[in-house]
Structure 1
Amino acid sequence: MDATDALWLLTIPVAAVAVAAVSRRLGLSAPLMLVIAGLLVTAVPGVPDFELDPEFVLYVFVPPLLFSAAWQSSYYNMRENARPIALLSVGLVLFTTLAVGYAAHLLIPDLPLAAAFVLGAIVAPPDAVAAVSVAQRLGIPRRLVTILLGESLFNDATALTAFRVAVAAAIGGGFTLLDGVGRFLFAAIAGVAVGLLLGPPLHWLRNRIRDPLVENSIALLAPFAAYLIAEAVHASGVIAVVVSGLYLGQRFTDSAAVTRLIGHSFWKIMIFILESVVFLLIGLQLPAVVDGLSHYSWASLAWWAAAVFAITVAVRFVWVFPAAFVPRWLSARIRGDEKWTGWRGAVVLSWAGMRGVVSLAAAFAIPILTSSGEAFPGRDLVLFLTFTTVLATLLVQGLTFPTLIRLLGIGSGERERYTDAVAEAGAQHAAARAALERLEELTADDPDPLDETVVERLRQLAEYRQLKAWERLGGGTGPEGEEVPTATYRRLRREMLEAERRVFVQMRDERRIDDAVLDRVMNELDLEEVALSRD
């Protein structure tokens, strides 16, 4: 690789971050804009082809993206919604594989059934990155967000396992349906086992080290270790990553405060860059996709692409509505235990089916030759139909998803946010009371009299934290719209912090303090401002 090639490689993440930054600034969907930007770049003369390496995507991009999502997910919310998540991440994926595959076989004369099922498995798993970001921003009920996130965490495992089974059937080699079921069950169960076996020792190690940089480095390496170990024993690497991420994320409170602050910032930056690069790469795949399609007419290709996209979307509706309504009709326990979002929630779940990079990576991973040495039947066509389905779902469903949520009136989430605020205020009140009681115990037990000004300052801080959660319920203003005391405190304290920073910077510029001193005090001031900005 020469310097020119290296420069082109650097251009990809730089361009991805730039497009994502502009999209965020304009309030546009970054994934959609990145895909469009990639498509436009392919038309520029002199731009080299960037062919997606499926192994690179599955080994480098997928593990940290899934691990981060699992780490930030709520195990308890997932457990409470395990039934609908399983119906979507397992049942819907398999149903989509069969329905799309059989329909494609009927529509396309020279596409064998086994190759058609490969296509069905490839387009089966939605990528909920775009859908969840929009849903959270518009405030749809938390249960729907949890279901979408849970589906996106586990459906890749189902789809990739089904993909491998379908490929084995297409290339030959004595494949049977019983073999496929056995492979699927083994991959799922063994993947869970790898994740559970890896999670506890990693958690134990992180707690013993107590070094923020090393602890977060272990967290960074964990998803790659889980994925590669699972794949080495022919288990599902995706499930292993998700399970280990859920386990470690549920126990992140055991880490030190500095570790959590560093880790939170690091993962936000890492995922922002990875997601931006991934969606840009999707758009850059057009030249590789259209190669080998010269013997098909563009009219036929357009018809097949539209049909596969429409079937993929329709299949999700066909599955989601019965899955949402029938169990509630049949079971009183489900009606009593699970929150109900009605037909509007079913529509949102049905339309949130945007496909992403996992589908494209799987398509590029299709073998070129079968076990008999012949060309894999319809490989170029499957690649093309995968690309058009991914692109159509991102553009059609992605662009209309926010409008749909607003039209259905299912967004805003004001009641849920108010309930959270009330619960937080109650918890803050109880925590502050416990802190004050502990302070009284310490002052009573200390043999030496404590400085009363120190005790009073600690007491005021606990009372401040107790009050600010209640005042947040009023939006930071009093009954007449006046600024409440805690809001005044935050506003004035921020101004004071900025004045302190200016003094420290000026003294550094005058060489009265060293840069190391400036870094230390700036970090302390920044941490305090972050705590204030949380409100």
Structure 2
Amino acid sequence: MEASLLAALVASVALAGLARRFDISAPLALVVAGLLAGLIPGLRGIELEPELVLFVILPPLLWSAGLESSYVAMRRNVRPIGLLAVGLPLATTFAVGVVAYHTVPELTIAAALTLGAIVAPPDAVSATAIGRRLGLPRQIMTLLGGESLLNDATALTAYKVALAAAVGTAATWQSGLGTFALAAVGGVVVGAALGSLIAFARKWFDDPMIESAIGLVAPFFIYFIAEEVHGSGVIAVVVAALILGQLSAHSGYATRLQDAAVWRAVQLILESFAFLLIGLQLPTVVGELSGISAGTLAIASFAVLGTVIAVRIVWVYVFAYLPRALSPKVRSRETRPPTKSEVFIVAWAGMRGVVSLAAAFAVPMTTLSGDPFPGRPQLVFLTFVVVIGTLLLHGLTLPWLIRTLDVQADDDHRDALQQAAAQTKAAAAAEARLDEVLADQRAGSRVGDAAEILRGWNERRQRAAWERLGRGADEIGESPAAAFKRLRLEMLAAERQAFIDERDAGSISDEVLREALHGLDLEEAALNRN
């Protein structure tokens, strides 16, 4: 099994690289590749280990998404995110439970509700991976990202309650609400406490390598501690990541550069591995269905998949317009109503993923009485159908729908305008600080030439921010900022080659070369940041 997992990990990264090289949707390509691999005769499927997903894959992906999320934007959209992350999973759990109970004779009502909780949450991996590639507007990504960060906590808690009832452990409404409250409060407390502690430790060490290392192990530690105290590991990781993301502006530049590079690579590896694992489950899922009516499975599959899609569409449309119609307070607070196209994209972007499959495989084989768990093979199969169905259906149609509905991001111009205004203030602050330093210099200190160079640099940065908002270079010719950038990049290339030549000639060591190239790379990154 270890060798198979290692082979799957290597293959997933290779396939993701090919997909990116040929501009193909990597998530969909990996899922399809896994499905096709499962159809090869004699190829043994890799059975998904729930602990692998919940304790190894999920925490770092939540952490990475939380670091990139905007706390301010999530707070501004707390009502719609709360409805999507808490209300919708619960509504889906009950709706799917009722439909599954009436279409799969083997399922008890508790087992059917367990299935509902399993397929209720759109997956964090699917939403962020596909949404990033499609270039969705930031408002939509904020809603989908906030939903995917938090809905696993709701669904997994509902799953625990329903599963306890299905296996024979006493479960009441009061105990269910208590489980929800403990998970939410415990997750927030653990996340806030450990997030603050980790932020302090990183600042105290003041060592980019150690800070990045702490960041790499933090999500696993936080998730484990939260689960041990019966809190929500998902909420704990998300809260801690939001705290670290908010404080990252106060970290050193080296830490930020290193963290960004490390987490992009980790994200690519884990997302690719997760999507390939989904497709590879086909042999395992089909192998458990011997002796079960194909007609019953087909009817149940269409019914459950249709319910999952329909509940999301109805819920999103109702709560996109009803609160605004009934509450003047909501209308005054949310000044920009969502467009019909944006509402439909949010309603349609309900891809399920590897977390749902992990929860399905975690369902025990037997109940406490020793009897087989009611309808477990059907439960796992229906989860697989929902995951594959939503990934392929939504993933294949979303690009076409975005183009047809003309849902285009207008974030670039707004970002450039905000950056230009901020750059003007930053330039003024830098100018004032330079004047203060010069005023403190001793008379006769030879800093005049350096000061003039710095003033020119400061003015160039201020103008460059506004030039991006004006006419293009094809209309007005090359701007001073563009000319500076082009010439400086040529100089950097020449410097880099000179250092390499010196190393090849044996005049400097590899260590000296790496140190020199690092400084040049930082300057080139600054020039190419836009």
Report the TM range for the smaller structure's normalisation. over 0.9
Q: Does the 8 Å CA contact 2:95/2:311 hold for their aligned counterparts?
A: yes
Residue 500 of structure 2 is aligned to residue 505 of structure 1: yes
Equivalent of 1:358, from 355, 360, 363? 355
Superposed counterparts of 1:333-482, under 5 Å? 333-338=329-334, 339-411=336-408, 413-414=409-410, 416-448=411-443, 449-474=445-470, 477=473, 480-482=475-477
Shift of 1:476: 5.1
1:113 aligns with 2:109: yes
Contact 2:5/2:46, CA 8 A, preserved across alignment:
no
Residues 15 and 138 of structure 1, relative CA distance in 2, 3 Å threshold? closer
Q: Which residue of 2 aligns with 1:217?
A: 213
Q: Which range is displaced more, 22-31 or 324-333?
A: 22-31
Matches within 5 A, 1:61-210: 61-210=57-206
Asked whether the 8 Å contact 1:35–1:279 carries over to 2, the reply is yes
Q: Check 1:138–1:475 CA distance in 2 against 1; reply closer, same or farther (3 A cut).
A: farther
Q: What does residue range 262-341 of structure 1 map to in structure 2 within 5 Å?
A: 262-338=258-334, 339-341=336-338
Aligned length: 528
Question: How many Å apart are 1:49 and its aligned residue?
Answer: 2.4
Q: Relative to 1, partners in 2 of residues 1:346 and 1:329: Cα closer, same or farther, differing over 3 Å?
A: same
Between the aligned partners of 1:466 and 1:487, the Cα distance in structure 2 is 13
- Among 223, 246, 249, the residue aligned to 2:245: 249
**What residue ranges of structure 2 are gaps of 5+ in the alignment?**
none
8 Å CA contact 1:67–1:223 kept in 2: the answer is: yes
What is the DSSP-based 3-state SS (H/G/I as helix, E as strand, rest coil) of the residue aligned with 1:354?
coil
Gap change, CA 1:506 and 1:46, over 3 Å in 2: farther
Partners of 1:134 and 1:179 in 2: CA distance: 37
Q: CA deviation at 1:527?
A: 0.8
**Equivalent-residue separation in structure 1 for 2:188 and 2:213 (angstroms):** 23
Matched, 1:521 2:516: yes
Does structure 2 conserve the Cα–Cα contact (< 8 Å) formed by 1:432 and 1:463?
yes
Alignment of 1:6-21 (within 5 A): 7-21=3-17
Number of the residue aligned with 1:493: 488
Matched, 1:22 2:18: yes
Describe the superposition over 1:389-434 as per-residue Cα deviations: whole angstroms up to 9, x where unpaired: 10010101111011111111122x23x3222211110100110111
SS in 2 for 1:460: helix
Secondary structure of residue in 1 paired with 2:343: helix
Per the TM alignment, residue 26 of structure 1 is displaced from its structure 2 partner at its CA by 2.1
Superposed CA deviations along residues 449-476 of structure 1, whole A, max 9, x for unmatched, are 2332211111111111111111111365
- The answer as to whether partners of 1:130 and 1:398 remain within 8 angstroms in 2 is no
Q: Distance in 2 between matches of 1:481 and 1:134?
A: 38
Offset at residue 136 of structure 1 (A): 4.4
Whole-Å separation in 1 of the counterparts to 2:95 and 2:112: 10
What code does the residue aligned with 1:160 have?
Answer: L
The sequence identity of aligned pairs, in percent, is 51
**Distance 1:363-1:318 versus aligned 2 partners, 3 A rule:** same
> 1:6, CA displacement in angstroms?
5.5
Distance, in Å, in 1 between the alignment partners of 2:134 and 2:275 is: 22
- Check 1:73–1:297 CA distance in 2 against 1; reply closer, same or farther (3 A cut): same
CA separation in 1, counterparts of 2:34 and 2:406?
Answer: 34
Could you report, residue by residue, the CA deviation over 1:316-355 in whole angstroms, capped at 9, with x for unpaired residues?
0111111111100011221122221222221111100000
Structure 2 CA distance, aligned partners of 1:519 and 1:6?
Answer: 36
CA RMSD in angstroms comes to 1.5
Worse overlay, 46-55 or 205-214? 46-55
Shift of 1:219: 1.2
List runs of 5+ in structure 1 lacking aligned partners: none
Letter in 2 for 1:198: L
Partner of 2:51: 55
Report the TM-score, using the length of structure 2 for normalisation: 0.97
Partner of 1:259: 255
Q: If the length of structure 1 is used for normalisation, what is the TM-score?
A: 0.96
